[in-house]
């Protein structure tokens, strides 16, 4: 999941770099989703249309959530879980045949 703060335009702009990092380091079959957090607030700097357009460019789903009220947080995780089940059924054990990158507590990640 690539999560940005809907009340912070810089957070939204960083999603391009985060997606590049994810594509570079994650398993090719990784399920991706763009998540706009803080949907309970009314001082959005990012419109739903902007976020949906970006998600469409990435070819991934978009959902708005609120960590404070838990609004749609469960839906986001359920969506990822459903996609994983679909992949498992479609690819069987070949899905896990790709090596999984290892990250230690001392691994630095550019932000």
**Which residue ranges make up each domain of the chain?**
2-96
The CATH class of the 2-96 domain is: alpha beta
Extract long-range pairs of 16-24: CB within 8 Å, 24+ residues apart: 17/110, 17/111, 19/58, 21/109, 21/110
pTM: 0.76
Q: Could you report the per-residue pLDDT of 36-58, keeping only the tens digit for each? A: 999 999 999 999 999 999 999 99
Q: Is the pLDDT assigned to residue 94 strictly greater than 70?
A: no
Provide mean pLDDT across the span 15-31.
Answer: 92
Position 92 scores a pLDDT of 72
- What pLDDT, on a 0 to 100 scale, did the predictor assign at position 110? 60
3-state SS, residue 26: coil
Give residue 99's pLDDT band: very low, low, confident or very high (50, 70, 90): low
């Amino acid at each position: 999941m690539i999560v940005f703060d809907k009340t912070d335009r810089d957070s939204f702009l960083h999603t391009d770099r985060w997606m590049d990092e994810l594509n570079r380091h994650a398993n090719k079959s990784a399920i991706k989703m763009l998540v706009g957090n803080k949907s309970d607030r009314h001082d959005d700097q990012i419109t739903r249309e902007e976020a949906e357009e970006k998600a469409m460019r990435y070819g991934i789903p978009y959902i708005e959530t609120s960590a404070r009220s838990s609004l749609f947080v469960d839906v986001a995780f359920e969506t990822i879980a459903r996609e994983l089940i679909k992949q498992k059924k479609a690819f069987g054990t070949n899905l896990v045949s790709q090596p999984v990158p290892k990250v230690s507590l001392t691994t630095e990640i550019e932000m």
